[in-house]
């Protein structure tokens, strides 16, 4: 039986997709397990990271699996419902990620700009409300866009065509552009305040250590946001300007940009492991299997 270019393309597609999916699932399970297991990581900021990691995990476990199934059989085989469900999960989880990043930026704002009010403003109760609101709004937007608002999903081959009419840009604005502008403004404010703190620092050694620790955490989480923007901005720009150019953006390019966006879910665990020493310590303990042979919940992660 001859091996056609289509078969080679499908094999490479499945191989890359499976690899990315496995890395997403494994990396985010590490993050989730670390935060749940180690008491040192039970902080409001890390609960937001836990919510973000859960969304990333579901991208690998649901969205990519749907997409690879559609690649093998096409959406004509599965029907329009599966095509829409894939899009629902995609929009919901992407929106959840960016709303969680928004919440993290608010957390960092109080930690750096108003440190004396941080513990009374950003409590576990407040963070739980932030997480619930993020997931609820994202679910309503994701399922509402596909089943009620947007009826322009066209099933072509592998169910990759997502057409947004000129009159309906509410989805991208709510789920991407507005949160992005909000986060950029917040991090700009944090940067300016941090610069003033450096110039006029007059405090104890312990106070200096706390300020440095908060700034490092803010820098790391800003990098997480930067990676998110790097991965998702090209896709949103393409679907925003596609209607203006009479849908001239080719489907393979949109498909590639979608994969770039999904790959963001794979990068975050590497960022945490690279910049956070306590996450590195937690990852080592989990990967080595020590948690199965002893109680390390109260371990001091360096």
Backbone angles phi, psi at 173, to 5 degrees: -65, -45
Q: Which CATH code fits 5-159+167-292?
A: 1.20.1070.10
Tens of pLDDT, residues 24-66: 999 999 999 999 999 999 999 999 999 999 999 999 998 888 7
CA distances (Å), origin 283, targets 21, 54, 87, 250, 279: 19, 17, 33, 41, 6
User: Which residues, 6+ apart, have CB-to-CB distance to 7 below 8 Å?
Assistant: none
User: pLDDT tens for residues 150-196?
Assistant: 445 555 544 544 445 444 566 678 778 888 999 999 998 888 887 77
pTM of structure? 0.86
Residue 295 per-residue DSSP state: -
**Ramachandran sector of residue 165 (left: φ over 0; alpha: ψ -120 to 50; beta: rest):** beta
| 243-268: burial string, b at 16+ Cβ within 10 Å, e else | beeeeebeeeebbebbbebbbbbbbb
CA–chain centroid gap for 61, Å, is: 14
Cα end-to-end distance, the chain, whole Å:
57
Give, for all 302 residues of the chain, the pLDDT tens digit: 445 555 666 666 677 778 889 999 999 999 999 999 999 999 999 999 999 999 999 999 988 887 776 666 555 445 566 677 777 888 899 889 989 999 999 999 998 888 888 999 999 999 999 999 999 999 988 887 666 654 455 555 445 444 454 445 666 787 788 889 999 999 988 888 877 776 666 555 666 676 777 777 888 888 998 999 999 999 888 888 877 777 787 877 887 888 889 899 999 899 988 888 889 999 999 999 989 888 889 888 87
């Amino acid at each position: 039986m001859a091996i056609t270019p289509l078969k080679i393309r499908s094999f490479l597609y499945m191989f890359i997709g499976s690899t990315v999916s496995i890395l997403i699932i494994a990396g985010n399970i590490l993050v989730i397990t670390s935060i749940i297991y180690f008491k040192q990581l039970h902080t409001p900021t890390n609960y937001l990271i836990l919510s973000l990691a859960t969304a990333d995990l579901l991208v690998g476990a649901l969205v990519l699996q749907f997409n690879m199934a559609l690649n093998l059989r096409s959406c004509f085989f599965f029907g329009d419902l599966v095509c829409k469900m894939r899009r629902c999960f995609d929009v919901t989880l992407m929106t959840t990620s960016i709303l969680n990043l928004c919440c993290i930026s608010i957390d960092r704002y109080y930690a750096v700009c108003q440190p004396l009010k941080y513990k009374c403003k950003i409590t576990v109760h407040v963070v739980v409300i932030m997480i619930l609101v993020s997931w609820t709004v994202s679910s309503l937007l994701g399922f509402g866009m596909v089943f009620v608002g947007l009826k322009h999903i066209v099933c072509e081959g592998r169910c990759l065509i997502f057409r947004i009419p000129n009159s309906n840009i509410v989805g991208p604005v709510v789920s991407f552009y507005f949160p992005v502008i909000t986060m950029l403004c917040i991090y700009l404010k944090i940067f300016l305040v941090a610069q003033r703190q450096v110039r006029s620092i007059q405090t104890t050694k312990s106070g200096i250590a706390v300020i440095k620790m908060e700034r490092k955490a803010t820098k790391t989480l800003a990098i997480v946001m930067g990676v998110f923007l790097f991965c998702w901005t090209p896709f949103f720009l393409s679907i925003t300007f596609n209607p203006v150019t009479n849908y001239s953006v080719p489907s393979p390019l949109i498909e590639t940009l979608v994969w770039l966006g999904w790959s963001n879910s794979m990068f975050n665990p590497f960022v945490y492991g690279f910049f956070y020493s306590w996450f590195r310590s937690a990852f080592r303990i989990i990967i080595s299997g020590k948690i199965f042979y002893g109680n390390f919940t109260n371990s001091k992660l360096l």
